[in-house]
Structure 1
Amino acid sequence: MNSLVGVLIRFRQEKVALSADIEAMFHQVCVCEKDCDALRFLWWPGGDLSITPMTYCMKVHLFGATSSPSCAAYALRRTAIDNAERFEPAVLSTVKRNFYVDHCLKSVESENKAVKLAADLQSLMCLGGFRLTKWISNSRRVLNTIPESECAPTVVSLNPGDVLPCDRALGVNWNVNDDKITFKIKISKKPLTRRGILSIVSAIFDPLGLVSPVTLRAKAIVQSLYRKKIGWDETIPQKEIEDWQQWIANLPSLEKISIDRCFRPNYFSKLKNVQLHVFSDGSETGYGACAYLRLTDIQNRISCSFVIGKSRLAPIKQTTIPRLELCGAVVACRLYAMLSEELDLKVDQVTFWTDSMILLGYINNNNRRFKTFVGNRISYIHQTTSSEKWRYVDSGFEPS
């Protein structure tokens, strides 16, 4: 699981959200003098190619170099390590866990903590030569404590009664005013070919798998064309044309979907119990898993929140439904392993759900030796979970 998903998950756990960018991050990190020759370039003054060019070396990391992101990330973390004694652990943890290259996403429990954290982060970043800017938050009080020059352009000229704008957090649409994650669909004109279809499907950015059931159907159309050995730019059969046109016609409906950014409702008090429920399934089309958080506060109020989903197409080589359900269970275990590291909430109970009695038989069988395909996957499931955590759910009650 890539770190982008991890940052977004950590961004969704508390009520007050913060987002900021490091201005020209790569240019703030110097290159060792002995390595400057690796960034040597020629320069023709005035663009006149008839004269002898001048030779220069970059003294800072540049945009486009493969090494720049890792070097800048190291410098960022080193800033936190070198100044660890001057700041609280929460500030240092934010630098280590809540930055994705130059973008910081963080959520905290209260406005007071957000105000202090924003101030401390700016002070810490300055010590490393970094400038945090383009701040945005779902709290107006927090925004009012940040200098106008450091706020995002969309919130600089807002009046007290104005609605907070929509923003993008690592490519995901964030309705700041309502504090919800939304989707903005822009259907570009592409030729009705396998290449054109794949281009449109790939343009839907969904790292948390919020709309995986929708995108899976389009990917299945692309896979169907591959099975029929249709070339990238060849005319596609009428059946796939009709399926694609129906999918495209329904695609704008995604803009009506909105998901709460914060797992905890605003009216919730201190949490008493946190449960993670992971569902998995498989079919002839594909397989996958999704995870939900079930929160209970000290007043016994209950809230369920979708956390993450992951779907995959079934292999082109036909396989049995029980094996696909087994693959879905492996995806569920991988989601759980990732969530165990990324969620800051302490999970009291984890339950895995499946509607396959055959899969439960696989998992509960510790004596029989299985064939390689099944055995390898059962082994991973046993390493990640225990059989007591797996339960049966009727197909009619399982999330689709």
Structure 2
Amino acid sequence: MSIATLGGQISDLRPYNIHGLMLRSRFDNNKAVEICGLESETVTASDLPIISETWNLNPIADHIEGNLPRSIEMLIGADHLAQIDLDSQRSFGDILATNTIFGWVFCGPESKGTSLLSSVLYGKVDQLQPATILSRPAESSPNIVLTGVKPRAISDEQHITVMDLQMLWKSESLGLDDKTQEEEKDTLNEALIEHFKETIKRDPDGRYIVSSFLKKLSKKPTELKAVDDEVANYLAHDFIERASPRKPDQMAHYLPIQAVFKTSPAAPLGLKTRLVKDASARKVNEAGLNDILHVGPFLLPNLLKVYIKFRRYKYTLTADIEKAFLQFKVAEAHRTFLRFFWPLGISTNPQAKIVEFWATRLDFGLVCSPFIHCQGIRHHLEQAARSRPKDKEFIREILETFYMDDCVFGSDSFQDAQSKIRVLFEVFQDGHFPLKKWQTNCESLGDFIQKISPVEAPEVKAGKADAKFLGICWNQETDKIHVSVKGALSELSSGVPSKRRLLRGIPQIFDPLRILSPSIIAAKVLLQQLWKTKLDWDSPLTGTCLEAYNNFLSNLHKIEGIALDRHYTLGSEPNRMELHIFDLI
């Protein structure tokens, strides 16, 4: 049986013991109800609240006498309400008293004047996957359902507005609201990491083996061929293989393919294609694969720490693992849950037969993949630090700032930077993690990478004016960083100034280092003022609000060319550093 719960969440399939029960009133033996119940280890972790005021109603169903336990051991569903309700109710402010065959039952919130309940109940929602029946997929936090509030579907325009607001306020918490520092490691996450350490293996070649926890393209021949070519490429590189026939009673799961396209002039057909398996897909009232996979703890480092590392050294370098997820093999026993169908050759042969494949490498689309990848990299680097004591300090530095598949490091010495490049190649090649893409502010180091790289045809970007690192614009020629405001200028300059246009324009500015913060804050203050005036989203701005809007737009043109030195020390590491903080009053 699977249980559908609040918000449309579906539990995994599990067996339950079923019991027939006769519940009899302790006040009248002639009053009883027969029910059928599911056995569960725990109904709720909360204790029964103690009621101090009963308004002289007797008898009370939940009256606690002596040292009797207050644990809740049975939950009766509403389908039995008619059998136990005596059709008598009393109202006392926010409290509703209902007479039942078991006595008077009290429902409602705690009174403002007197404390009726001596305990506070705490509810927690631990969402593994958003329900597919919802109008919108949830983001990082679960949906909250308010009782007594009529649900209302939101339009695409309203959804975009909500996303803009989330982007705007989340950008303020960089380096301050750090989950990796504040969240305690719960027992589940610790168990997941222990399970990972126990099950990760290496094949004879040294590659890691881990255990996992179509769009309609017929009218788009270019995209159809891009997907068909990518499937063939996966097959050629052993990322997938033809699946073995299912054995009798063998469990299996089949995943639909979702293709993600990105325009890339350098790629064949002008499209960069990524195959993503939709592990969230499921039938109505049945669990999908992502519903029964653990997400795992958040292992990415504080992004601000990564940016500071990027700016620390005279010579800075970044390296990217090629096809990072696909460097992990999936244990053979778990591949049966990663099956999918594809008519190989369909782009040239409309009659191509459908072939059953399964993934042999870690799949995009699985909620556990980011954790497995990050924990796999951490595991490998920790082993490398132990086996290479001479390089331990440098490897620990990489471990602390490794961000998904990007690592950043550097040195104030050219020779030391070369030495670190060699070590990094050796360490990552040992785990079959090819460092394909590189960036550096030094063209000589770029040439050195090309010369010693064990990876065929490495992509090295050095001395370029249009580089980026984790969203920051980086001119490698001048070694300066800046914030792009082109998107914001385009949005704010088009159409009539309004609250919605301002909200859409501000999030276009990605400024994690707060380079333009003294100017951007003016727009946020204006948005706050517009919020207080309760002006409609699309009403034209007038008066002082319009003046402030135009002033911000004018300032945005002026600050467009502002750039800072990437290397914040302007020389060797200083003996003394000062931190200056300003605040707006």
Q: TM-score, normalised by structure 1?
A: 0.61
Q: Residue 485 of structure 2 contacts residue 508 of structure 2 at CA under 8 Å; is this kept in 1?
A: no
Q: Residue 398 of structure 2 contacts residue 409 of structure 2 at CA under 8 Å; is this kept in 1?
A: no
How much has 1:8 moved relative to structure 2?
Answer: 0.4
Letter of the 2:441 partner, please give it: N
What is the aligned counterpart of 2:378 among 74, 77, 89? 77
Q: Residue 23 of structure 1 contacts residue 131 of structure 1 at CA under 8 Å; is this kept in 2?
A: yes
- 2:312 is aligned with 1:13: yes
After TM superposition, the structure 1 = structure 2 runs for residues 3-42 of structure 1, keeping only pairs within 5 Å, are 3-36=302-335, 39-42=338-341
Change beyond 3 A, Cα 1:150–1:94: farther
Letter of the 1:7 partner, please give it: V
- 2:555 is aligned with 1:255: no
Q: Which runs of 5+ in 2 are unaligned?
A: 1-174, 179-301, 452-456
Letter of the 1:224 partner, please give it: Q
SS of 1:213 mapped into structure 2: helix
Q: Residue 439 of structure 2 contacts residue 446 of structure 2 at CA under 8 Å; is this kept in 1?
A: yes
Cα displacement string for residues 37-69 of structure 1 (whole angstroms, at most 9, x for unaligned residues): 554444355389999965543332233443332
How much has 1:166 moved relative to structure 2?
Answer: 3.5
Q: Residue 316 of structure 2 contacts residue 408 of structure 2 at CA under 8 Å; is this kept in 1?
A: yes
Instruction: Report the structure number with the largest CA radius of gyration.
Output: 2
Letter of the 1:140 partner, please give it: E
Partner of 1:171: 471
How much has 1:121 moved relative to structure 2?
Answer: 0.7
Partner of 1:317: none
- 2:346 is aligned with 1:43: no
Partner of 1:151: 459
Q: Which runs of 5+ in 1 are unaligned?
A: 156-162, 284-400
What is the aligned counterpart of 2:369 among 41, 45, 68? 68
Letter of the 2:379 partner, please give it: R
- 2:426 is aligned with 1:123: yes
How much has 1:95 moved relative to structure 2?
Answer: 2.7
- 2:576 is aligned with 1:274: yes
After TM superposition, the structure 1 = structure 2 runs for residues 207-222 of structure 1, keeping only pairs within 5 Å, are 207-222=512-527
Change beyond 3 A, Cα 1:249–1:130: same
Partner of 2:534: 229
- The farther-off stretch of 201-210 and 257-266 is 257-266
More helix by share: 1
Q: Residue 225 of structure 1 contacts residue 236 of structure 1 at CA under 8 Å; is this kept in 2?
A: no
- 2:412 is aligned with 1:109: yes
User: What is the RMSD computed on CA atoms of the aligned residues?
Assistant: 2.8
| Distance in 2 (alpha carbons) for counterparts of 1:34 and 1:231 | 57
Higher relative CO (CA 8 A, sep ≥ 6), structure 1 or 2? Answer: 1
Q: Residue 320 of structure 2 contacts residue 438 of structure 2 at CA under 8 Å; is this kept in 1?
A: yes
Cα displacement string for residues 231-288 of structure 1 (whole angstroms, at most 9, x for unaligned residues): 334434443233222211221322322212222223x4x64x32333424342xxxxx
Q: Percent identity?
A: 27
What is the aligned counterpart of 1:99 among 398, 402, 415? 402
Change beyond 3 A, Cα 1:178–1:128: same
Q: Residue 484 of structure 2 contacts residue 510 of structure 2 at CA under 8 Å; is this kept in 1?
A: no
Change beyond 3 A, Cα 1:252–1:70: farther
How much has 1:35 moved relative to structure 2?
Answer: 4.2
- The farther-off stretch of 86-95 and 256-265 is 86-95
Change beyond 3 A, Cα 1:35–1:280: farther
| Distance in 2 (alpha carbons) for counterparts of 1:225 and 1:281 | 22
| Distance in 2 (alpha carbons) for counterparts of 1:121 and 1:74 | 18
Q: Residue 185 of structure 1 contacts residue 251 of structure 1 at CA under 8 Å; is this kept in 2?
A: yes
More strand by share: 1
Change beyond 3 A, Cα 1:282–1:165: closer
| Distance in 2 (alpha carbons) for counterparts of 1:101 and 1:116 | 24
Aligned residues: 272
- 2:500 is aligned with 1:201: no
SS of 1:17 mapped into structure 2: strand
How much has 1:124 moved relative to structure 2?
Answer: 1.0
How much has 1:88 moved relative to structure 2?
Answer: 0.6
Q: TM-score, normalised by structure 2?
A: 0.43
| Distance in 2 (alpha carbons) for counterparts of 1:17 and 1:62 | 32
